[in-house]
Amino acid sequence: MSARLTILAVVTVAGVLAGGCRRGARPVSRTWPVMGTFCSVSVPAADADALHRVATTARATVSNLNALLTVYSADSEISQINDAAGRHAVPVDPLTRRSLELCLHYAELTGGAFDPTVGAVVRLWGFNTGRPPEHPPTADAIRDVLAGVGYRRLKLTADGAFLDDARADLDLGGIAKGLAVDTCYEAITAEGRRDLMVNLGGNIRCGGQACPGRTWSVGVRNPFDRGEILGALSLTGGDAVATSGNYERFVTIGGRRYAHIIDPRTGRPVEGMAGVTVISTNAVEADALSTALYVMGLDEATTLLARLPGCEALLVPDDEPLTLHVTRGFRERFDPVNDMAQRLVALKLRGDNASARFEEENAKNGPGGNVSAAEGG
Ligand code: AMP
Ligand code: MG
Q: How far is the CA of 289 from the centre of ligand 2 (A)?
A: 7
Indicate the top mutation candidate among 66, 127, 261 to test ligand 1's pocket, ranked by most ligand atoms within 8 A of CB: 261
- Closest ligand 1 atom, residue 264 Cα: 19
Spatial contact of 142 and 371, defined as CB atoms under 8 Å apart: yes
Q: How far is the CA of 169 from the centre of ligand 1 (A)?
A: 13
Q: How far is the CA of 205 from the centre of ligand 1 (A)?
A: 20
277 phi, psi to nearest 5 deg: -120, 130
Q: What is the DSSP string of 92-148?
A: --HHHHHHHHHHHHHHHHTTTSS-TTBHHHHHHTTTTTS---SSPPPHHHHHHHHTT
- Closest ligand 1 atom, residue 171 Cα: 12
How many whole angstroms separate alpha carbon 327 and alpha carbon 180?
26
For 375, other C-beta atoms within 10 Å of its C-beta total 14
Residues in the chain: 377
Ligand at minimal distance from the CA of 171 is 1
| Pocket of ligand 1 from Cβ distances under 6 Å | 114-116, 118, 122, 127, 171, 173-174, 244, 248-249, 260-262, 264, 287, 290-291, 295
Kind of pairing between the strands at 239-245 and 273-280: antiparallel
Position 376 scores a pLDDT of 25
In tens digits, the chain (377 residues) has pLDDT values of 333 333 333 334 334 434 678 888 999 999 999 999 999 999 999 999 999 999 999 999 999 999 999 999 999 999 999 999 999 999 999 999 999 999 999 999 999 999 999 999 999 998 877 788 888 999 999 999 999 999 999 999 988 999 999 999 999 999 999 999 999 999 999 999 999 999 999 999 999 999 999 999 999 999 999 889 999 999 999 999 999 988 767 788 887 888 889 999 999 999 999 999 999 999 999 999 999 999 999 999 999 999 998 899 999 999 999 999 999 999 999 999 989 999 999 998 865 444 445 555 555 554 333 332 222 22
Q: How far is the CA of 35 from the centre of ligand 1 (A)?
A: 14
Report residue 170 CA to chain centroid gap.
16
